[in-house]
Structure 1
Amino acid sequence: MAHAQSHGRGRPENVYSLTPAAAEHFPHAHRELAADLVEFLNEEQLQRFFERRAARLEAEYAPRLAGLDFEARVRELARLATEHGHMAEVVELPGGGLAIRHCNCPIQDVAVRTPLPCKNEQEMYERLLGAPVERSTWVREAASDCTYQVKEGSKQVG
């Protein structure tokens, strides 16, 4: 991408930058950095970090779930998870009930080193859905996805 940038007298200078798609073709060290942070921070610091991260996401998600019935909340939560890289889908369970399946883990390099982000995510889902949530598959335990089974709760959220 280019845009003209003026520096006073003379011709404007063309300034070029990469698009997000083009940037993917260049080396990144963010995965390594995130993994290093998990190794260097102590358990209490990690816990506080992941709690704050979950609180930030919960504050973002809650208004978008407010006033929806149970099934609509589950479906919207899966859509929100997809917006954050989880490639989530809602699965109808054989005996009734719903599950949210994350087909991708955007923080897998971190999740294999500590269960904290997954634990906080599960607890956040319970609060947002007003229902118990049980993890039945977990990438951390060598599964191909993470699946959260949701038991319909009586509590209306929002």
Structure 2
Amino acid sequence: MASAEPHGRGRPEHVYRLTPAAGDHFPDGHRELTAELVDFMSNEQLRQFFERRAARLEAEYAPRLAGLDFEARVRELARLASEHGHMAEVVEVGDGGLAIRHCNCPIQDVAARTGLPCVNEQQMYERLLGAEVARTTWMAEAADDCTYVMKENQKRVG
């Protein structure tokens, strides 16, 4: 992609940049850098990092779930997960439950090495939904997806 940038008298100077699609054809060191960071950080530092990340996401998601019923919250969580690269979908499971199925993991390397992002994600889903969430499949254990199953609590408060 080229853009003309004025630089004084004469013909415009062209500045070339790769488009995001073209960037896929060039070396990318993100995975290697991430692996080095995971190796460098202590277990406690990793735990704190992923807890803060989950708290940030929870603060971002909570207003978007406010006022929605249980099923709508589950569907919105799946949509939000898709926005972050998880290619998520909602499927109905037996006994009136729902599942969020992540068909992609944008941080699969770290998730497989530490498990921490997955644990924090599950706990975040529980807090946002006010329901127990069980992870029934996990890509880190060679599954095709990560599936989180949840059912609305029947117990009413008050």
Normalising by structure 1, we get a TM-score of 0.92
The Cα shift of 1:154 comes to 5.7
**Gaps in structure 2 of 5+ consecutive residues:** none
Correspondence 1:81 to 2:85 = no
Question: 1:150 aligns to what?
Answer: 150
The Cα shift of 1:77 comes to 0.5
**Gaps in structure 1 of 5+ consecutive residues:** none
Q: What is the CA–CA distance in structure 2 between the aligned matches of 1:30 and 1:150, rounded to whole Å?
A: 33
Do 1:130 and 1:154's aligned partners in 2 also have CA atoms closer than 8 Å? no
Residue aligned with 2:8, SS: coil
Supply the AA of the counterpart residue of 2:144.
S
Residue aligned with 1:95, SS: helix
Identity of aligned residues (%): 77
Question: 1:54 aligns to what?
Answer: 54
The Cα shift of 1:155 comes to 8.6
Correspondences of 1:79-158 after superposition (within 5 Å): 79-153=79-153
Supply the AA of the counterpart residue of 2:24.
E
Supply the AA of the counterpart residue of 1:15.
V
The Cα shift of 1:137 comes to 0.8
Question: 1:41 aligns to what?
Answer: 41
Total equivalences in the alignment = 156
Q: What is the CA–CA distance in structure 1 between the aligned matches of 2:15 and 2:119, rounded to whole Å?
A: 44
Deviates more, 1:78-87 or 1:147-156: 147-156
State the superposition RMSD in angstroms: 1.6
The Cα shift of 1:56 comes to 1.5
Do 1:38 and 1:110's aligned partners in 2 also have CA atoms closer than 8 Å? yes
Do 1:131 and 1:154's aligned partners in 2 also have CA atoms closer than 8 Å? no
Q: What is the CA–CA distance in structure 2 between the aligned matches of 1:142 and 1:70, rounded to whole Å?
A: 30
Deviates more, 1:2-11 or 1:39-48: 2-11
Q: What is the CA–CA distance in structure 2 between the aligned matches of 1:109 and 1:16, rounded to whole Å?
A: 32
Supply the AA of the counterpart residue of 1:138.
W
Q: What is the CA–CA distance in structure 1 between the aligned matches of 2:16 and 2:155, rounded to whole Å?
A: 52
Supply the AA of the counterpart residue of 1:115.
G
Do 2:96 and 2:151's aligned partners in 1 also have CA atoms closer than 8 Å? no
Q: What is the CA–CA distance in structure 2 between the aligned matches of 1:34 and 1:94, rounded to whole Å?
A: 39
Normalising by structure 2, we get a TM-score of 0.92
Question: 2:16 aligns to what?
Answer: 16
Supply the AA of the counterpart residue of 1:116.
L
